[in-house]
Each structure stands twice: as structure tokens, then as C-alpha cells.
Structure 1
Amino acid sequence: MTDTAEADKEYGKMMARIFNSKIADFAISTSIALVQKTPAVWRRIPPLYADLVGDLPILQDFDAPQLIDRIPDEDPGVERWYVASPAMRRVVEVQVIPAKDPDIPAPMLYLLDGVSAPARSGWLREGQIQDFVASNHVTVVLPTQAPGSLYEDWLRDDPKVGRHKWDTFLSSELLQVMEDAAHGLNFNGRRVIGGLSMGASGAVRIAAKHNETFHGVIGLSGCYSTTSIMGRGMTLAIIRSVDADPDNVWGPGITPAALAADVAANPEGLRHMPIYLFAANGRITEHDINIHVGQPRHELPGAVLLEKASFKSTVELVRTMERMGMHHQVVHLQRGGVHAWAYYGEQLRKGWEAVYPAAVKR
């Protein structure tokens, strides 16, 4: 083992001693509560993913959603579709993995990325999606270039990130294009939406809002509240990570629109929705230390904070569902583990196994 790797392991052990302590959860919650009460502080959250936004496109007008182009992508078996979006007023790039047998009708899995949401989906980079499609007959749709968007329809265009109307695009426009028989995908009529981190939050919110459109949802390490201490803290961090203004999403503060987007507080739309939820409790394990060897030092504590927020938000959502008489959800709350791609390939497979059979029956 190299000296650098050994140093990384020692650093990981030190982080474990700090973040696995009994006082850590209290300190984290208190710090996040204080930060979000002080705009002068949270507006200085570093824009770690601002460089992924790129130049804002010139807005265009389209009469209807349409497929502009379709080419082979850099990954084997993957296509890149260019879809004109009237709501976004631009052409949106989507990576598509067609089902392995074109003669057999297949469901569609709309799979959303995390906060960086770059031009090449994280599910292809690190999410083991190729293993998933090798063993499941499904068309996978991977929207790209949505950093910090929350996959939401923003109230106002933002000078840094432009126009976000992802809810409309994902729940209506993209479906029209993907399911057009002229494009050759043999669709069986069943749609599941899922994602990790920011993508999980977006997927669950969209599924709850459009529960007649989607037949199941998979949420991995998501934050489903927009108004709780941890939920609002995570939401602010996501938006500021791309240097955008949180007031442009639902308005300033906790507005009626922000409350309406809080699925953890009002999960009624999920009452008849097959759903799988996963989150770990943010406790650093030896596995977490090993997978962070060679990574920038800030990533491990960041992964702890994100997963602790996800865990708390997932518990909030499940408890609210149970209070409202919902007990159909399949939930895996894992003891040990941080916010890391290493967990999500397996959890996607488990989510699909839990959700899709029930989705077929809807």
C-alpha cells in the first residue's frame, strides 16, 4: 500500500471517530439550522458544480415536443436523443438504453442523476446500469445536463442556470417522444421513475404529483422535505452548488409552492404508488473508508452529511405515510454507509424487484 493510500485510510478513521460519535447528529442538525436561518451564510455555500452549467442556451420556441436527432453514444448500447422541449425552450439531451430484445414490449425506467447531473449520466459512469439492463428487460431513459435543478419547474428563470421546467419535461414532453411508435421503442405501457440523491427527491416528488402517469417509483438516498431543518438545508446546498438563487425555485423562504413540493409532509400522491426507498444512516464503515481512498479529502465528510440528511428525510416520509395509513412501501434503512455510488447499483436492482411487479398490476 502506498504512503498516500495509508494516509487516506488514517484520515478516514479520524473522520469515523468524529462523525460516528453520539454528539455528531446533534451538532450537524444544529449547524444546518443555524446556517439556513442566515442568508449571508448559506448564500456563500461554495458552487462546487457551477462549472458543469456551461453557457446558457439561446431560448427557442417549439410548437410541440419532438425528436431532433438520435445518434450512438460513447457507451456501448447507448443512444443520445436530442429532444426539443417547449417548456424548457431548448433541446434537451437524453441518454437512452433500449431494451435488449426489440420484439418484446418493455417498460420504461426514467432514471434521474444526482446533483452534478452532467452530460454523461452518473448511472453510466458509476451506477452499474449496464449490469442492471443485462439482467432486466427494460428501456432506461437517462436525462442529462440538469445540475442543481431539483428536477423541478422553477418559478423564475435564473441568471446562472437558466430555465428549468424539468417537471413538465419529465412528466409530459419526454414521454410523448419516447413512446412515439415511429421511434421504434416497443413500449409495454408501464413507466417507473427513480433516482439517487437529488434525482431521488425529484423522482418521488414527480411520481406523487403525477401518480396517474407513473406506475412506480424508486428513491435512493433522497431528501423528500423542502421545509424541515435537514430538508431545507440540503435543498439550499443543492441549489447553491451551481451558484443559483434558491428564491427562483419556489419563491423566497417557505412559500406555498415549497410546501406543496414537500412530499415528506404530504405523501398522499403515493398512496397507491409502488415505492422503494433506501437510505443509510451516515455512519462511516471500513468499506466507506476504503472506497474513499484516493478521493479528495472533502468528499467523505460531505458524504456523511448528505446521507444523514437523506436518512432523516426518508424516515420522516415513511413515518408520515404510516400515520396516513400507508403500509405498502418497501423501505431499506441501512445501518452504516454514507452517500456513495458504491451502494446504488445493488439498491437499484432491489428497488426494481420490489416496484416493477406491483407496477404491472396497476
Structure 2
Amino acid sequence: MSIRRAGRRTMVAAVLAACLIGSVSPALAEPAPAPNVVTAKAVAPGGSYVEKVEALDARNVRLHIHSAAMNKTLLVDVLRPADTSVPRPSLYLLNGAGGGVDSASWQRMTDALQFLGDKNVNVVQIIGGAWTFYTDWKSTDPVLGVNKWKTYISEELPPLVDAVLGTNKVNAIAGLSMSGVSVLNLAIAKPGLYRSAAVYSGLAQTSDPIGQNMVKVTVETWGGGDAENMWGPADDPLWKANDPIVNAEQLRGTDLFVSTGTGIPGVYDEPGGKFRLEKPSDTPQTVAIGAVIEAGVNWSTHNLDNRLRELGIPATFVYRDSGTHSWGYWQDDLKASWPVLEKGLNSQP
């Protein structure tokens, strides 16, 4: 049964301003004996392979994965379970718009990895993909390059992770901000690959004018790329093909958690707060941008909620009474989502 905790709904004003910021970066530590890695010699269908396995400490490894689809080597950081005596499931943790290579990261901004550290799950942290929406792009972009992230995450990476780490091949996926739509689309693209999925302040629709403009602001204004290279012009069928609300039927069977604030500033929006990245003097302007973004996210989340209700697909929706687009809320939301993620991770392989 779905749980929907109602909060105040906000007017969607100026939704076309800025979009979806946030990311995940690796947790670096002093070198130590290698964790229980099964093998570094793994090749996926299509020719992708593990180039190198690097031990960061007794529980953290860095995988160097050569993607055949993008013809480049990408980094993946993995927090191994405390107990590797039996095969364990994997939680794929996606970045926001920064792609995990900037200062805004789960590791630096939250206690997410500490929270997940006792859950006996492989936490697979994908690095790279800034401003790409983790999707397969139609064309090479002069600024953002070749992007085949859906192929990488859904086809190339999982068999390599399973082979190297000796997992039980049960997966969940979670992401914030820009990667919210990516989480939904990855679950839609390959039903069953991810048994559960969590979205924190993520856009849930892409093919209507408002959703398209939110995507374009992220790709073009923030990332310097061209959204036509991603999904073509506004009338290209790829926009609908990558719209979770249009394709919501394919989410049936996935344990879903979706959360959003209202855009009204809350407890984590005070200048100088623990989760603030900007200088205190810049906080009012940053919070104002985050409020607009979260108002748009709130609007699209309600639309997804309504669509899933129409289809009779159960999901857990959490509507916070306040909060803009920032890290403190995502830390809380990840913890709140764990029972949903855990349900999928504990399902039979």
C-alpha cells in the first residue's frame, strides 16, 4: 500500500529558472588491504571491461570501467558491505548535475555512506555524467561529448559490478536532483534490474513545455551543452520516450519512494548552516533559486503521484511541509527511503 503524506502545495512560479543541482563524489581514504574482491577480470556483453580495481581502504574500492558505448574509462566508487561472507545486493547511488566530481557530494555534504555502512549492501557510486541526465544522447555534443549513460548504467556496468564483487545480482537505485528523472527512466528501461528506486527532489516529467525548459536550463544554462543533441528538438519523440509520467506503466512492480519539499525555506536554509555550500552573504539568493527549483519539482512530483494513482501502481510519496533544493533535506530523505529500498534489496534474486 502506498503512503502519501500530504503537505502544502505551492504555486509553480518562474519554473523556467535554473534546474537541479547536486552530485556525488568518491570517498577517499588511506590505502589499506584490499576488500573481498572476487575478480578484476570481467568483460560485459558489448565489450566493456574492468580496467583496474583499486583498493582505497579495507571497505572502499574504486573500479576503473572502460565503457564500450562511450569509448572511455569511467570511475565507480564502491563501499563494500561489512560482511562479505555471502553475496550481497547493490544500491546504485546516482549524482546530481555535477556528476560527482565537484564539491557538492553525498560524501562531503551528508552522512549517507556512514548510514549505509552497516546495511550489508554494496553502495555503487557512479562518477561522471555532469549535465547529461544520465541518458543516451542522440548526437555527440561539442561541450559534453559522447554520452551513452543509459546503456552504461543499465547494460554495461551491472554485470561487471556483479562479477568483480560477487554480488547476488539484486539491485536498487537512488538519485537526487538532476538524476531523479534518470532513476525513473532507468527503472522503466529495464524492468526488474532495479527492484526498488528512490528519487529525492527530482524532475518527474520532461515532454511538456515546462519540463522541457527545466531540462534545457540544466543542460544548456548550467552545463553549456545543447539539449537538441540529447533528445532532439522539442517535437522529437525522444522527449516523450524519456518522460517517466508518459511511460509510468513500466514502473509497475518496482518499489518506489519519491520525496520533495515545497520551495518554502526551512530548517536547512539558514545562512552558515551545516549543509550550505555558499558564503552566508550569498545564501538568500541561493535559497531563492533553490525555492524555485523545488517548487517545480513539487509540481512534477504531484503529477507523477496522480498518474501512478490512475494506473493503480503503489508508491511511497513524501511531501515535506517546507524545504528548498539543498543537501540537508536529501540526507533526511535518503534515510526515510531506506525501508523502501531495503524491501527491494531483500527480494529474492
1:76 positional shift: 7.7
Residue 99 of structure 1 aligns with an amino acid whose one-letter code is P
User: C-alpha distance in 2, partners of 1:301/1:254?
Assistant: 31
2:279 maps to 294
1:269 maps to 250
Which residue of the other structure, out of 325, 338, 346, is the alignment partner of 2:332? 346
CA contact (8 A) 1:85 1:173 kept: yes
2:294 maps to 307
> Per residue, is there more helix in 1 or in 2?
1
1:123 maps to 106
SS at match of 1:277: strand
Cα-to-partner distance string for 1:110-141 (whole Å, 9 max, x where unaligned): 11010011336812121322222223111011
1:325 maps to 312
CA contact (8 A) 1:230 1:313 kept: no
The unaligned stretches of length 5 or more in structure 2 are: 1-8, 23-44
User: C-alpha distance in 2, partners of 1:135/1:98?
Assistant: 10
1:258 positional shift: 0.6
Cα-to-partner distance string for 1:2-23 (whole Å, 9 max, x where unaligned): xxxxxxxxxxxxxxxxxxxx9x
User: C-alpha distance in 2, partners of 1:348/1:112?
Assistant: 12
Residue 249 of structure 2 aligns with an amino acid whose one-letter code is E
User: C-alpha distance in 1, partners of 2:100/2:347?
Assistant: 35
1:172 positional shift: 1.1
1:190 maps to 170
Q: What's the Cα RMSD here?
A: 2.6
User: C-alpha distance in 1, partners of 2:127/2:268?
Assistant: 29
User: C-alpha distance in 2, partners of 1:207/1:25?
Assistant: 29
1:316 positional shift: 0.7
Relative to structure 1, the CA distance from residue 63 to residue 173 in structure 2 (aligned partners, 3 Å threshold; closer, same or farther) is closer
Residue 61 of structure 2 aligns with an amino acid whose one-letter code is E
Which residue of the other structure, out of 217, 231, 242, is the alignment partner of 1:250? 231
SS at match of 1:262: coil
Relative to structure 1, the CA distance from residue 26 to residue 63 in structure 2 (aligned partners, 3 Å threshold; closer, same or farther) is closer
User: C-alpha distance in 2, partners of 1:308/1:76?
Assistant: 42
Compare CA radii of gyration and give the structure with the larger one: 1
CA contact (8 A) 2:258 2:317 kept: yes
Residue 78 of structure 1 aligns with an amino acid whose one-letter code is N
Relative to structure 1, the CA distance from residue 63 to residue 125 in structure 2 (aligned partners, 3 Å threshold; closer, same or farther) is same
Q: Does 1:235 align with 2:215?
A: yes
CA contact (8 A) 1:230 1:312 kept: no
Cα-to-partner distance string for 1:78-108 (whole Å, 9 max, x where unaligned): 3221101111111111111111112132110
1:171 maps to 154
Relative to structure 1, the CA distance from residue 169 to residue 221 in structure 2 (aligned partners, 3 Å threshold; closer, same or farther) is same
In the superposition, the TM-score normalised over structure 2's length comes to 0.82
CA contact (8 A) 1:196 1:219 kept: yes
1:97 maps to 79
Cα-to-partner distance string for 1:136-179 (whole Å, 9 max, x where unaligned): 11101111121101000000010101001000000010011101
Bigger RCO of structures 1 and 2 (CA < 8 A, at least 6 apart): 2
CA contact (8 A) 2:138 2:230 kept: yes
In the superposition, the TM-score normalised over structure 1's length comes to 0.79
Stretch moving more, 222-231 or 243-252: 222-231
1:285 positional shift: 2.2
1:63 positional shift: 5.9
Residue 336 of structure 2 aligns with an amino acid whose one-letter code is K
User: C-alpha distance in 1, partners of 2:195/2:267?
Assistant: 38
Relative to structure 1, the CA distance from residue 26 to residue 306 in structure 2 (aligned partners, 3 Å threshold; closer, same or farther) is closer
1:286 positional shift: 4.5
SS at match of 1:116: coil
Give the length in aligned residue pairs.
Answer: 310
Q: Does 1:213 align with 2:178?
A: no
2:63 maps to 81
Cα-to-partner distance string for 1:283-319 (whole Å, 9 max, x where unaligned): 1125412434734344212211221111111111110
The unaligned stretches of length 5 or more in structure 1 are: 1-21, 36-44, 50-61
Relative to structure 1, the CA distance from residue 149 to residue 76 in structure 2 (aligned partners, 3 Å threshold; closer, same or farther) is farther
1:110 maps to 92
User: C-alpha distance in 2, partners of 1:26/1:314?
Assistant: 12
